[in-house]
Amino acid sequence: MSRFSRWQEKFAQQPRDRRVLIAALVVLVIVAPLLLRVIIPRLQLDQRYQQQSQQLAYQQQQLQRQQQLLQQQLEQDPNQPVREKLTQLEQALTAEYQRLSAMEHLLTPEEKNQALADLVAMTDAVEVLSLNTEEPKPVLRQGDTLINQQQVTLVVKGRFGAIETLLKQTQSLGGALAWQALDYQVESYPYAQASLRWLMYTIEQKAD
């Protein structure tokens, strides 16, 4: 009898409460490295990304308000100082937009859909239980260029290793994806169910 078979026999002889406790400890030992190596660093990076995006959006809103105010002043009193200030604000708005657009790997809507399809189809070892996408919400607009934010929730079932591979695969989307939540539940070891929720950022050209 192999060492693994003897271990299984001893495990089966344990009381139910002790078997549950041992299984929980095994899951903790397996999940802890994943949290340390993949999930926690990614969540920290995504938090910084979201904070930067929110800060840029707020700055642009403030600049737009000042631009509108100066435009009103310009219509009432078209003097040169006001014109110069208006030009400066327009340049600042453009710079803020370019700064956000330069955030790595913003996807077009078509690229986003293909990325999701590739992600779902990456391995037969993961069963997709559901994939929900909310309506895109505009974050920033400059001329005919629009940057959208969309929440995506993916629920999958499979072996721990396959789910870990899926999590690593999402990192290839870079700054186009920002994690919000991860819920991982072991159903019957080594199978588990995971619910992944993130924000996706896309860029597109949209005429007025």
Per-residue confidence at 146, pLDDT binned at 50, 70, 90? confident
pLDDT at 153: 92
Q: What percent of the chain has pLDDT over 70?
A: 53
Q: What percent of the chain has pLDDT over 90?
A: 1
Q: Is 34 exposed, middle or buried (0-12, 13-18, 19+ CB in 10 A)?
A: middle
> What pLDDT digit, counting tens, does each position of 17-49 carry?
665 565 655 555 555 565 556 555 565 656 666
Q: State the Cα–Cα distance between residues 141 and 149, nearest whole angstrom.
A: 12
Q: What is the separation of C-alpha 26 from the centre of its chain, rounded to a whole number of angstroms? A: 29
Residues 114-119: contacts with CB within 8 Å, 24+ apart?
Answer: 115/173, 115/176, 116/152, 119/154, 119/166, 119/169, 119/170
Mean pLDDT, residues 61-83 taken together:
68
Q: What are phi and psi of 156, to 5 degrees?
A: -130, 165
Return the axis-axis angle of helices 80-101 and 40-76, rounded to nearest 10°: 160
pLDDT at 164: 81
Per-residue confidence at 14, pLDDT binned at 50, 70, 90? low
Residue 16 has pLDDT above 80, yes or no: no
Q: Measured on CA atoms in the order 137, 142, 146, 150, is the torsion positive or negative?
A: negative
Q: State the Cα–Cα distance between residues 38 and 43, nearest whole angstrom.
A: 9
Q: What are phi and psi of 134, to 5 degrees?
A: -80, 165
Specify whether domain 3-52+103-205 bears CATH 3.40.50.2020.
Answer: no
Amino acid at 174: G
Most confident of 63-67, 82-86, 160-164, 191-195: 191-195
pTM (2 decimals)?
0.49
Per the prediction, the chain carries an average pLDDT of 71
Higher pLDDT, 172 or 114: 114
Whether the CB-CB separation of 144 and 187 falls below 8 Å is answered with no
Q: What are phi and psi of 181, to 5 degrees?
A: -160, 150
Residue 141 has pLDDT above 80, yes or no: no
pLDDT at 208: 55
> Which residue shows structure tokens 């969540």?
43
Q: What are phi and psi of 189, to 5 degrees?
A: -50, 135
Residue 117 has pLDDT above 70, yes or no: yes
> What pLDDT digit, counting tens, does each position of 171-188 carry?
766 666 777 888 878 777
- List the chain domain ranges: 3-52+103-205
* DSSP code string of 77-131: ---HHHHHHHHHHHHHHHHHHHHHHTSTTPBPHHHHHHHHHHHHTS-TTEEEEEE
